[in-house]
Structure 1
Amino acid sequence: MNILNASFLEHFANLKDPRIERSKEHLLKDIIAIAILAIISGADGWVAIEAYGNAKYEWLKSF
């Protein structure tokens, strides 16, 4: 796969999700995407990432 032509999600497609099945409320790729977007927007920890996800919920839902 050419790194310049790969989509954002393709970069993370081979990541294994270490969580147990019953504790999965969200897809790992969604968590990664929200975390990256939040950090780019200035989030500095998981609490700020969660706040970003909640604040941008409607916009994120459109994807």
Structure 2
Amino acid sequence: MGAGLLILSIPLFFYVVLASLFCVMIASKTSPKMGWLVAAGLVGMPLALLLGWITAAAA
């Protein structure tokens, strides 16, 4: 489990950074609320699914 998580964390880090920059761009062009809404879907949901996968595998 540990080695797979390490391999998965590198692309996940780049995804979170790029998605966060995209959300900041959206917030600057529209409203901060819209930026947070997009961030919840693009950044929050994949991280929540990853944490759920990790906790289910650990149990």
Please, what TM-score do these two structures have when normalized by structure 1? 0.33
Instruction: Pick the structure with greater CA Rg.
Output: 2
Q: Point out which structure has higher relative CO (alpha carbons under 8 A, 6+ apart).
A: 2
The structure whose residues are more often helix, as a share, is 2
